[in-house]
Copies of this chain bind each other. A is one copy, B any other.
Amino acid sequence: MAMEPFAIGLTPADYEKHGALVTRRTLSQLQALYTDREAVERQLAEGDPVVYEVYELPHPNDETDLLVNITVLYPGKVGEEPFMTKGHFHAEPDTAEAVIGLSGSGEMLIQRRNGELRRLVVAEGKISYAGGGWSHRVINTGDVPLVFFAVSGANIVHDYDTAARLNFK
């Protein structure tokens, strides 16, 4: 069974009203992303901030669907590094992801398995497109939450490990 048709506001609040699952990622869960270990320790000693939230509409894992998520990536830094999403490849099939900025500003770091790295702007009213074969991570370069819409096929398998190994460097 595919998702039921719907028409809702493209905001986190509307997604929640429509039954979205919210995944909150905190700094303690993401600490391996940061190189400045002291800065991580210092920040965690004061609490465990939410770095980002993903609003995902429940979908019955039907490969004919599209994933249409909204992410809120909070502003912040760990040492010199900005708050960022975990980053992943899509595995089997290695399909595209498109991001549309809703508010705030940042960048999408994308990387091929051979290490080639590029940076795409993420901003309100812009579409940023990573084709198959590019892992993608979004970073918040501003002072306000970066809210963005992301779409991909619902048949994707997230490959976080390869992305973590290359680590967008």
Contact = CB atoms under 8 A, between A and B. Distances in A.
Contact of A98 (B68, B95, B126): B68
A93 B5 CA distance: 17
Contact of A132 (B64, B95, B110): B64
B118 A9 contact: no
Given A5-B130, A65-B131, 18 more contacts: A3-B96, A3-B129, A5-B118, A5-B129, A6-B120, A6-B128, A7-B126, A7-B127, A8-B126, A10-B126, A62-B132, A66-B95, A66-B98, A66-B151, A68-B98, A68-B127, A127-B149, A153-B153
Nearest to A119: B7
Interface residues of A, number: 44
A36 to B, nearest CB: 28
Interface in A25-82: 62-66, 68
A142 interface: no
Contacts of A95: 64-66, 153
Contacts of A62: 131-132
Contact of A7 (B65, B97, B121, B149): B121
Contacts of A108: 7
